[in-house]
A and B are shown apart, each in its own frame.
Chain A
């Protein structure tokens, strides 16, 4: 299975909004609403920020939101803060009853 495609890097100034895309196929992102987004700071385990395309776990800031259109899912971070600087990965359930991660996006707060 091929990794989902994400931009290598996205940057923004504090207070701005940024959007990270995650492109798959009809066999994964487009076919299921089991798309999740993970935040990973250096040396730390990933943390789920969005699940089920657009749901936030308890404790995750409402500055994080998710959506999906066709085979592409998106993560938007609004009101960008220094603490949001991290790597972000999308993940999707697939038609093969497996999971696949995205290639990862490094978010830089300017």
Chain B
């Protein structure tokens, strides 16, 4: 059973870079059948897809965030990461990592709240 766990700071200052890592267990991040993605949810609001990465390193980003987002894979540690630069309070959200297969997010992390505040 695949398990995903987000980790990273819960508080980031405005204009700085948000960095989160998703540790994958119970399966290999190098599986050719899967994508690995990030989704966020501002408090009391809906889900927003941030982007996906294939094990090979190919990335796909939400156009509205593309200029600020970087998703990367570390196959040696079986984990993938999210960096979001120049954050503002509008980036405050619960950030989820997820495993995508055949167009669906099958497995999700529990989510981690990141607050952007000085």
Please give the residue numbers on chain A whose beta carbons come within 8 Å of chain B beta carbons, in ascending order: 1, 3, 32, 34-36, 38, 40, 45-48, 51-52, 57, 89, 91, 93, 96-104
Contacts and interface: CB of A to CB of B under 8 A. Distances in A.
A88 to B, nearest CB: 11
Given A91-B49, A101-B46, A36 B60 contact: no
A89 B105 CA distance: 12
B90 to A, nearest CB: 16
A103 B48 CA distance: 9
A35 to B, nearest CB: 8
Contacts of B60: 97-98
Contact of A46 (B62, B103, B108): B108
Closest 7 CB pairs of A and B: A34-B103, A51-B104, A45-B108, A104-B46, A36-B104, A101-B47, A99-B49
Given A45-B110, A46-B108, A98-B63, A93 B46 contact: no
